[in-house]
Amino acid sequence: MRTDYENWKPLAVDEMNNLFYNLPVQWCIAGGWALDLHIGSQTRKHGDVDVLILREEQLTVYRHLSQDWMLYKAENGELELWREDEYLDLTGDVWACKDDASPWAFQLMLVETEQDDWIYRREQSIRRALRDITLKSPEGIPYLRPEIQLLYKGGSKNIRSKDHDDFHTILPSLSPQEIEWLASALRKQFPEGHAWVDIIRQKKDSR
């Protein structure tokens, strides 16, 4: 078990692309870097780098990465080594490092699917076709669509100041269809209301 949660030296996005490029799985850059790939420039400093993978493809990813990386499953606020052939049914995050004394290099996000659909675990009625959850940068790096990444940020129990900043930075770059999808998803998860939905409505009304 490791407890050095802040000990990060993340790989660069192009290094992540090289690491995952030849894997026969669906993957994409997620988190704040996904939003920056959408904008086309880095908008703020990032303390880590996230890669989204499908839960059903986790063992393929494990076999590839475990040749050179130590993988720790993040569960209940603790980090424990992910063992060979251990299928993670509920774990949402896996952290990777070179050895048990080196900094964390990247994080895997395991997401749910059903047939050909991605499922938002916090509100499982929110779904998208798997073929429609990613875009590609001009360099060919796959990244999570911005409206889906903003849903992950805005749908969290603890929305951080950087999440609010990301929302305000990215919102002007979204198409009307992307903005409406985000607002609709947030309304579905939070029928009692959400601050970002109010902001979207105010911007729409001011046009």
- Give CA separation, 61 vs 19, 44, 67, 173, in Å: 11, 29, 11, 32
Alpha carbon distance 200, 207 (integer Å): 11
Per-residue pLDDT tens over the stretch 89-132: 999 999 999 998 999 999 999 999 999 999 999 999 999 999 99
Spatial separation of the C-alpha atoms in residues 49 and 8, rounded to whole Å:
10
Q: What is the pTM of this model?
A: 0.95
Question: What domains lie within the chain, and their CATH numbers?
Answer: 13-145 (3.30.460.40)
**Quick check: 162 and 48 in contact, CB under 8 A?**
no
Per-residue model confidence as pLDDT tens digits over 124-175: 999 999 999 999 999 999 999 999 999 999 999 999 999 999 999 999 999 9
Contact partners, residue 56, CB within 8 Å, separation at least 6: 113
